Chain A
């Protein structure tokens, strides 16, 4: 009974993992889409298969004691000395010694493979032509700043990182409040964003796609709703995205959106948010210059569409309890123009 149950669990260990690998996901450590995560995943499978084998052997040895109970050993008169014959003891000593030496060797192999992988991942970070992105954690959103020697080409956006496929990207991590952690599992492991320090991590995507990331260090009430997208695009597409984002927001042309802009500029919104090309220059909340081009609202708590945006602006605390966005008192006729204005910020 015991044997059957444990065997099932053993099989599950490799079985379920393999299964889950086939499923595929946009936030998964075992579906690598970059050289860093690829090397980690290879190391992971190497560890998993080796360690699963060891686990099966250890369990089999333990369960074998139950079989042996019924034969052979009973002949040794354990009642008196509670000790098997010296010959048996010597044999056991030999087996335990061999098992210990074997585990030392296996652990050494694992150690070397881990250090070698770590080294080779670190080597990926010395390449030229890198894109440098300063990522700043805030409760509970991400500020993304593309560094550039030319100050006019520094771009600030939020909660979404676009990167060109095949080009290394250095993420410089900072935090404005508490410790956060940047983690896009399809691309690489975690790196903490620590106030008063700058940490760094190199990522690279080797195929286009959208990869989800999430804050991995507990950062307070809305830790669960602090996610971001990394969107990997071919170089040309990335460039056009970048150039579009560099431009200030287009002045709205139709009357409704013009009215929406006035609503925005005449309310508390501008204390926190900035929209380049307008008077709104707040620095403590996400930049909204090209808000409508982004996939999500409130650090990707909700998909970006008119209805969700309306719900978020009218009552941010019910969408994301505890977040720092002010509830702005809007006249009922102001809401629709405001939404149209924001959703027009392509």
Chain B
């Protein structure tokens, strides 16, 4: 498992240089120092851990929902609690777990895979994390002060409007969106800049790892989709807090406008969650199938096409509102097109696996689980694209089954695979493979037991978001089965946590490249140093660690006494100029606090927007206060 020689060549006698590099990338000490970190590994890990905590919270909420529905006429939760819990479950999973988790993984992995030292805007990165964290805290503050939102994760007006949902509940939901979307936009901007301008020399567009391609597509989607949801939630919020009537039908506002704007975000959101997962799958298949990916251009083009088409099919969430038929046909066709691009990707992966030399690791188990579950979820998606079928299946448990197959199968299974694949890089120790395979089978069986019966429940008339149902409907047995399945699924989650906790202490030492994988992150030490690479690597191939050792090259000549990286050209990644990244700073945190004062306060009093803006302005001045260049320091 250990490397016989350094992965890349090094110069002689570099101890002093290395020492200098370590010093310029050192984390500042103390609590204030900890709050000032700007390295991508630290921020990425914070995202991953926070998002994982919210996965657990969202999972507990899901269990409560399942317990309530296990038997007909159940009184476990009342209607009020039930509505709160399914709203928070959806909101937590979409906004506080899925998107931030994918972003955290990308913040951690993308600079390593590209062979650079940090993301392009490290302080913005820190700011983005704090915004995300404060958004989480705000929503859960509402929940624990008995103001949990209860109008669904989509908050349709007029149900979510001031007339039918008085109090602060939906306000908490609306404003939480603003925080998390600001955070997502920060990450998208820095990932695009990083992928376009900070790749290892030689890593031309056609050599970018597929995972980085998927994050590039995802980031562009975030930039176009997220403003839409912020507009939707802000219209609703000002309707609620300031008496506007954007979406209030009683005063001439239009609730269908809200649905259009919301789903213009809401559908791409699904792809924002699962496109990064497609990148995980490609990485895992190459490393554990020990074979170059088949159909790289087709895979890249499919990802890009997915990104575009994703914006053309939001109306399939609104077929039941009664839109003109010709428009519906267009959206049916667009929705089915997604199946073509997804199909191409699955075919390419299967072709790669066919001719690879598979190592049946846990990570690859999760890829097979992904193919099985995601294929089924995708095919039920084709059914939902057909207007007549959607009119029957819409807002029933059939749809609940469908999107859990797509989101858990399409995103969480690859994510679990990614944890098993990259855990050694992040911690230096391997996760236990035996426990891992048990983990996979428990999750796979639990998942299918939970969600497969829901297809049938939906067809047999069980609508979504009902807190109970009469015995005569005959939905009891399948619901009970689904609840048992959910318990098995939860057991799988506990097994994973146990594996992580155990392996962190006693797991096998991983070494730099335990899987003999191809991409640059495996050239860094495990866990990576703050500066990732002593010498920035050069990508001489699409699979830089699979070229013979003598053909590998590194960049020399960068200054080690400051956080310097190489900026390269967009197309061919020719070295362009040297670029100094800013170091640790407390100002991103203070700015995030100032913005949060404005956001949180504005729910209660509009003047807080002014106070928050003033504070934010002060913080930004301090953040961008010019510093003397290093050379001029006495």
Q: Which residues of A contact B (CB under 8 A)?
A: 2, 5-6, 9, 12-13, 16-17, 20, 23, 25, 27-30, 37, 39-40, 43-44, 47-48, 51-52, 54-55, 58-59, 61-66, 68-69, 73-74, 76, 78-79, 81-84, 88-89, 92-93, 95-96, 99-100, 103-104, 107, 110-111, 113-115, 117-119, 121-122, 139, 177-179, 181, 183, 185, 188-192, 194-197, 199-201, 212, 214-224, 321-322
Contact = CB atoms under 8 A, between A and B. Distances in A.
Given A62-B353, A189-B392, A194 B456 contact: no
By DSSP majority rule, is chain A's interface helix, strand, loop, or mixed? helix
Contacts of B250: 195-196
A78 B357 contact: yes
B371 A96 contact: no
A217 B467 CA distance: 13
Given A28-B459, A195-B249, 9 more contacts: A9-B452, A28-B461, A44-B389, A58-B371, A62-B350, A76-B355, A122-B325, A177-B164, A218-B159
A183 B461 CA distance: 9
Contacts of A118: 325, 328-329, 386-388
Contact of A39 (B158, B385, B388): B388
**Interface-central residue, B354, B518, B543, by most chain A CB under 10 Å:** B354
A47 B340 contact: no
B143 to A, nearest CB: 18
30 contacts: A9-B372, A23-B474, A29-B459, A30-B459, A47-B386, A54-B379, A58-B350, A62-B371, A64-B354, A65-B353, A73-B355, A78-B291, A79-B290, A81-B292, A96-B344, A96-B351, A115-B332, A185-B461, A189-B388, A190-B320, A190-B395, A191-B320, A197-B249, A197-B256, A212-B461, A216-B394, A216-B464, A219-B159, A223-B467, A224-B467
B497 interface: no
Contact of B356 (A30, A47, A78, A201): A78
Contact of B461 (A27, A54, A65, A177): A27
Interface of B: 78-80, 83, 151-152, 156, 158-159, 164, 249-250, 252, 254-256, 290-292, 294-295, 298, 320-322, 325, 328-329, 332-333, 336-337, 339-340, 343-344, 346-348, 350-351, 353-358, 360, 365, 368, 371-372, 375-376, 379-380, 382-383, 385-396, 444-445, 448, 452, 455-456, 458-461, 463-469, 473-474, 518, 543, 546
A69 B357 contact: yes
B392 A44 contact: yes
Contact of A65 (B320, B358, B379, B467): B358
Given A29-B392, A82-B292, A220-B159, A114 B79 contact: no
A183 B249 contact: no
Given A96-B298, A192-B322, A224-B466, A114 B339 contact: no
A20 B460 contact: yes
A9 B376 CA distance: 10
A258 B385 CA distance: 58
A113 B164 CA distance: 41
By DSSP majority rule, is chain B's interface helix, strand, loop, or mixed? helix
A95 B357 contact: no
Contacts of A79: 290
A81 B382 CA distance: 39
Nearest to B329: A115
B395 A200 contact: no
A62 B368 contact: yes
Contact of B372 (A59, A82, A83, A191): A59
**Interface-central residue, B385, B461, B469, by most chain A CB under 10 Å:** B461
A216 B458 CA distance: 11
A79 to B, nearest CB: 8
Given A185-B461, A223-B466, A74 B388 contact: no
Contacts of A96: 294-295, 298, 344, 347-348, 351
Given A78-B357, A218-B156, A322 B79 contact: yes
Contacts of B151: 218
B322 A199 contact: yes
Nearest to A74: B357
Given A118-B387, A119-B325, A218-B465, A178 B159 contact: yes
B321 A199 contact: yes
A102 to B, nearest CB: 9
A93 B295 contact: yes
B550 to A, nearest CB: 14
A114 B452 contact: no
Contact of B351 (A59, A81, A92, A200): A92
A25 B340 contact: no
A61 B355 CA distance: 12
Nearest to B449: A9
- Lowest 5 A-B CB distances belong to which pairs? A189-B391, A27-B461, A114-B386, A224-B466, A196-B249
Given A58-B346, A118-B387, A185-B461, A66 B321 contact: no
Contacts of B357: 69, 73-74, 78
B72 to A, nearest CB: 11
Given A17-B456, A194-B255, A179 B388 contact: no
A47 B392 CA distance: 14
B394 A189 contact: yes
Contact of A104 (B322, B340, B385): B340
Contacts of B467: 223-224
Contact of B291 (A30, A52, A82): A82
Contacts of B329: 115, 118
Contacts of A190: 320, 391-392, 394-395
**Interface-central residue, B322, B469, B518, by most chain A CB under 10 Å:** B322
B146 to A, nearest CB: 16
B368 A2 contact: yes
Given A9-B448, A51-B383, A185 B292 contact: no
Nearest to B336: A107
A215 B347 CA distance: 41
A110 B254 CA distance: 34
A215 B249 CA distance: 20
Contacts of B292: 81-83
B440 to A, nearest CB: 10
A5 B440 CA distance: 13
Contacts of B383: 44, 47-48, 51
A297 to B, nearest CB: 13
